[in-house]
Amino acid sequence: MSYQVIARKWRPQTFEEVTGQEVITQTLRNALEYDRLHHAYLFSGARGVGKTTTARILAKALNCHKTDKPNLTPCLLTDPDICPSCLEISESRSMDVLEIDAASHTGIDDVRGSIIDNINFNPARDRFKVFIIDEVHQLSKPAFNALLKTLEEPPDNVVFVMATTELHKVPETILSRCQEFEFRTIPQQKIFDRLKLIAVAEKIDISDDALRELARSGEGSTSSPASVREASSREGASQRRRALHSSEPCWTSRGCTAPVAWAASRRRSRASPASPRPA
Ligand SMILES: Nc1ncnc2c1ncn2[C@@H]1O[C@H](COP(=O)(O)OP(=O)(O)OP(=O)(O)O)[C@@H](O)[C@H]1O
Ligand SMILES: [Mg+2]
Ligand SMILES: [Zn+2]
């Protein structure tokens, strides 16, 4: 299975699966259930805490074809009869759920081209047109102004979900037109539980100690399945090295420093803005 397929498989697909953000997911479920949807949401919080994941689940819930109104439990990727809307949203290729990366599309022409010129057309197939704008704080001032006009009077079947890691850079005029959700850093025990679930299901051979270290090094973000594999092979390599250099083979991770060193180097590399981040 490719890295992308595994990462997609382990991206939470239901509101229940989004760990550590229960207040937010419950509020969104209530809004869907009692038809109290806001037309613009702003999700803020650290990296890897579930902002994009929740935006996609909300988009699926709004547009799932299994019901003729928003569906609190949209289709799973493993459903044999998954609806086309949920499938395409999960694969980021829906015509009605548009993901815009404001980090690389900062200008007014980008906002015009991807949002404003598009907004008055009905959804191609689904109930709602959903615009997910990632790293929204990176938009230029003219781009924000253009967006503002749209946020003032969007069509009924349009929902905006904006996400940011730097809330303080989003202008007050935009904030005042959104319902804001602040995503929390995820408690270490919850991250550990999630990593353990992934390790067991994917049959990855890794000790609880190494998983705990991985959870700790995440500093409140969850890690990708790839990092669990990576930590597991580092732990394995470290055990093999110890076995080579000692008469007593090291059968447990206790005392093995590789995952710790790896986590520390990961923390150091995270401090650099150019460092890659998990999918
Ligand atoms: N709250 C969570 N519960 C379970 N898994 C999570 C959670 N948050 C993140 N993940 C895992 O981390 C991956 C990345 O999460 P996501 O893209 O939602 O983060 P984000 O908050 O949008 O981060 P960024 O600011 O970097 O865009 C997901 O695919 C998922 O595997
Ligand atoms: Mg994101
Ligand atoms: Zn569906």
pTM recorded for the entire structure: 0.83
Query: Residue 115: which of 128, 99, 94, 126 has the closest Cα?
Result: 99
Q: How far is the CA of 21 from the centre of ligand 1 (A)?
A: 11
- Using the predicted structure, report yes or no on whether residue 230 has a pLDDT greater than 70: yes
Q: Is the CB of 21 under 6 A from ligand 1?
A: yes
Considering only CA atoms, which residue is closest to atom 31 of ligand 1? 11
As residues whose CB is below 5 A from the ion ligand 2, the structure lists: 51-52
User: pLDDT for 104-128, tens place per residue?
Assistant: 989 999 989 989 998 989 999 999 9
Q: Cα separation of 53 and 131, whole Å?
A: 14
Tell me, what's the pLDDT at 26?
A: 98
Ligand with an atom nearest the CA of residue 270: 1
Is the distance from the beta carbon of residue 20 to the nearest atom of ligand 1 less than 6 Å?
A: yes
pLDDT in tens, 22-44: 999 999 999 999 999 999 999 99
d(CA 272, ligand 3 centre) in Å: 39
Of ligand 1's listed atoms, the one at least distance from the Cα of 277 is: 26
User: In this predicted model, which residue has the larger pLDDT, 200 or 227?
Assistant: 200
